[in-house]
Each structure stands twice: as structure tokens, then as C-alpha cells.
């Protein structure tokens, strides 16, 4: 069985990297809890290493174990985020540690996405008595061979709109345009995981709505959020544009930093709460979902006007190959080496307040 060979490798790879984190970060209760989940899951999956793949009872037990592991790891993202926050509040963060934590979390969460993909595929295909989901009969596990991109986008917008209406008592409208340059007049469909696409567009809609509502407080009618969807020979591209005032160029990279958030810090309770609100993880995790199958997510902002968020997805399923972190000497060296000073001059992170300077 592929899963019982591959899953221990992916778990062990990322566990090696967890052990290279700063000692004070490893000692936080939240990170220790995440470590214990990974250790327990690895031990449970290794119990099946030499078991017969032909025995129906073994297969049934293995599937139950896979579902147990999947459920155990439901809260990995917010729990690890809590650990990083605990470390930051207790010890502060220097540039080198910040860079290493950023490097680690990108790899850790990408590994988590890939592991969850395997667990979901197995549990959906082999778990339960009903082998075909009556709601989505054409799905292969969590993969939709004919994913209707526009329908997923509309679904993400409606749910973000519902949250926006609850918080601000109003919300911007959606203007959607689509162009199928590959097959004119036909709906845009790709082989993709709808839940991944939904996660990305839902997060981007939430950000766009919040920016629009807070930037345009003096208006009774809010500028709409414009979405352009295009399908070419190689890429499917989704551009979400808002009139929320944008951000300065120097802050674009910061928006993808796990240490950054513009919202109040939430409390960690359960996975049923609004996911990631306030941890600053929405954009970086969404980018990882895009990159997982060789796509990407980029932001382009016009300060004073608004922001364009662009999702790139491979149009060809043969190009949609997993992007996985590999623990090797290069990864080990990244944590062990001292990062040298930049060989370019680095300006201050914040613009100077000229009112504090006296004129001569």
C-alpha cells in the first residue's frame, strides 16, 4: 500500500525539521503538543509496516487509523501558530530567528497540506460504507476532474459576504467576468481540489471586503469587488480586485509573514471557530495551497486605490505535481548557518516622521 510507505516518510521528514527549531520555541506548550501528535501518528502508522495488504481486517483497521490521525491533526495550524505567538511574546524575535521560523513554517504547513491530502484521499475512497459521494459522484476522493472554477469562486464570495454583513452590516457586491481563451463559450473546468481553491478565494474575499469597508466608511454604496477568471493553454488565472485603499509596496512581503497580522489576536479554542482570523496566517497559507500543485498567489497593490490578488493554477493536470519539502543537508544548513549581513544597503522599515526634524 502506497500510503503506509509514504506517510511515515513525510511525517519523519518534517519531524526532523521541528527538532531544529530554537530550544525556547520547542519548549512552548503548544509546539510540544504538536510534536506529540506527530510522534503518536508516526508510531501508529509504523505498526502497519509489515502487515499484510491482502487481509481485509488489516485494511479496515488501517483506514480507521488514517481517519484517527486526520482528526488528531485538525488543529495543527492554530496550535503551532499559538506556539509561535507564545515564543514571540516571551523572548521577542530577532531577524535571524524570524527568517528561520518563516522558512520552517512554509515547509511545515506545506508538508501538512500534503499529508492531509493523502489522508483525505484514503479516507474518502476507502472509509465508510458508501464508496461514491452522492453529492459529488464524479469526485475522485477530494479531487474534482471537472472543477467548475466560477462556481467555487461564487461560493467563496457568498460565505465571505455573509461574514462581512454580520460584522459591518453591509458588504461590497461582486462583479465577475470570465474568459475561456482555450475553448471559447465553454465553462472553465480544471482538474483540481475544490476545497483548496475555496480556501484561497474565501480568504482573499475576506481581506478585500474588510479593506473596502474600512477604507470607504463615508460611502453609502461601496465599490464592488471585481473578479476576472481566464483559462489559457497553460494557466488558469483568477484576479480579485478591490478598491480598499491598497498597501505600500514595502508591506507586500510583510503580508505573507507569519509574524504579521492587522487583526486582533484570537484565542485558540477549537477548529470550529473562524479559521486563522488574527494570526496573520490567511495569506501565507493560501499561497501554499496555490503552490502545492505548482501554482502561485501574488499581490499587486496601488496605495491609495486598491489591491489585485492573483491566483495562478496549472491548467494541465499533467503539470500539477506536488511541491514537497525535503529534509536534506541543504535544509539542515539553513537552520545551522549564521546568516550574513545583506550586501545591499537596507532602508529603515518605517518612513521617517519629518515633523520631528527642525529646519535650520
> From first to last of its 360 residues, what are the pLDDT tens digits of the chain?
688 899 999 999 999 999 999 999 999 999 999 999 999 999 999 999 888 878 889 989 999 999 999 999 999 999 999 999 999 889 888 888 888 899 999 999 999 999 999 999 999 988 765 556 666 778 899 999 999 999 999 999 999 999 999 999 999 999 999 999 988 888 899 999 999 999 999 999 999 999 999 999 888 889 999 999 999 999 999 999 999 999 999 999 899 998 765 555 555 554 444 443 456 799 999 999 999 999 999 999 999 999 999 999 999 999 999 999 988 888 888 888 766 666 777 676 677 766 666 655
pLDDT of residue 17: 93
Neighbours of 193 (CB within 10 A): 22
Which grid cell is 267?
484565542
Rounded distance, CA 32 to CA 38, Å?
10
pTM: 0.89
Q: Which residues contact 113 (CB under 8 A, 6 or more apart)?
A: 288, 289, 292
Which grid cell is 73?
491533526
Q: Are 176 and 150 in contact (CB under 8 A)?
A: yes
Residue 298, classed as helix, strand or coil, is strand
Q: Which of 313, 279, 276, 278 is nearest to 298 (CA)?
A: 313
- The angle at the Cα of 250, spanning 249 to 253, to the nearest 5 degrees, equals 95
In this structure, are strands 225-231 and 174-180 parallel, antiparallel, or unpaired? parallel
pLDDT of residue 351: 73
Strand locations in 194-319, DSSP E? 225-231, 235-241, 296-302, 306-314
**What proportions of the chain, in percent to the nearest 5, are helix, strand and coil?**
50, 15, 35
Cα distances (angstroms) measured from residue 239 to each of 8, 101, 175, 192, 331: 38, 30, 12, 18, 33
Rounded distance, CA 43 to CA 163, Å?
41
pLDDT of residue 143: 95
Q: Which amino acids are annotated catalytic? A: 199, 203, 206-207
Neighbours of 196 (CB within 10 A): 22
pLDDT of residue 294: 96
Helical pair 282-292 and 95-126, crossing angle rounded to 10 deg: 60
Rounded distance, CA 218 to CA 89, Å?
37
pLDDT of residue 276: 36
In this structure, are strands 306-314 and 296-302 parallel, antiparallel, or unpaired? antiparallel
pLDDT of residue 275: 40
Burial (CB count within 10 angstroms: exposed 0-12, middle 13-18, buried 19+), residue 282 = buried
Q: What is the CA radius of gyration of the chain?
A: 22
pLDDT of residue 231: 96
Amino acid at each position: 500500500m502506497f500510503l503506509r510507505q509514504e506517510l511515515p516518510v513525510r511525517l519523519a521528514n518534517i519531524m526532523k525539521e521541528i527538532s531544529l527549531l530554537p530550544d525556547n520555541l520547542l519548549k512552548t506548550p503548544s509546539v510540544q503538543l504538536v510534536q506529540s501528535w506527530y510522534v503518536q501518528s508516526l508510531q501508529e502508522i509504523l505498526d502497519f509496516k509489515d502487515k499484510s495488504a491482502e487481509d481485509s481486517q488489516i485494511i479496515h483497521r488501517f483506514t480507521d487509523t488514517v481517519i484517527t490521525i486526520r482528526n488528531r491533526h485538525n488543529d495543527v495550524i492554530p496550535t503551532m501558530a499559538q506556539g509561535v505567538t507564545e515564543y514571540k511574546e516571551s523572548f521577542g524575535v530577532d531577524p535571524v530567528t524570524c527568517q528561520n521560523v518563516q522558512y520552517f513554517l512554509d515547509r511545515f504547513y506545506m508538508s501538512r497540506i500534503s499529508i492531509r491530502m493523502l489522508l483525505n484521499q484514503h479516507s474518502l475512497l476507502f472509509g465508510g460504507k458508501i464508496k461514491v459521494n452522492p453529492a459529488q459522484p464524479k469526485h475522485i476522493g477530494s479531487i474534482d476532474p471537472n472543477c467548475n472554477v466560477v462556481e467555487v469562486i461564487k461560493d467563496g464570495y457568498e460565505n465571505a459576504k455573509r461574514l462581512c454583513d454580520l460584522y459591518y452590516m453591509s458588504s461590497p457586491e461582486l462583479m465577475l467576468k470570465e474568459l475561456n481563451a482555450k475553448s471559447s463559450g465553454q465553462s472553465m473546468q480544471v482538474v483540481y481540489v475544490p476545497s483548496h481553491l475555496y480556501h484561497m478565494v474565501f480568504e482573499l474575499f475576506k481581506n478585500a471586503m474588510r479593506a473596502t469597508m474600512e477604507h470607504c466608511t463615508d460611502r453609502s454604496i461601496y465599490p464592488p469587488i471585481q473578479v476576472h477568471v481566464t483559462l489559457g493553454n497553460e494557466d488558469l488565472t483568477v484576479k480579485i480586485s478591490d478598491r480598499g485603499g491598497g498597501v505600500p509596496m514595502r508591506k507586500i512581503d510583510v503580508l505573507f509573514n507569519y509574524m504579521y497580522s492587522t487583526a486582533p489576536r484570537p484565542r485558540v479554542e477549537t477548529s470550529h471557530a473562524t479559521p486563522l482570523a488574527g494570526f496573520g496566517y490567511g495569506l501565507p497559507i493560501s499561497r501554499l495551497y496555490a503552490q502545492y500543485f505548482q501554482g502561485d498567489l501574488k499581490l499587486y497593490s496601488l496605495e491609495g486605490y486598491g489591491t489585485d490578488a492573483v491566483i495562478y493554477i496549472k491548467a494541465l493536470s499533467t503539470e500539477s505535481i506536488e511541491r514537497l519539502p525535503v529534509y536534506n543537508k541543504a535544509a539542515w544548513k539553513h537552520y545551522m548557518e549564521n546568516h550574513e549581513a545583506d550586501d545591499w544597503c537596507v532602508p529603515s522599515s518605517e518612513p521617517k516622521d519629518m515633523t520631528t526634524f527642525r529646519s535650520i
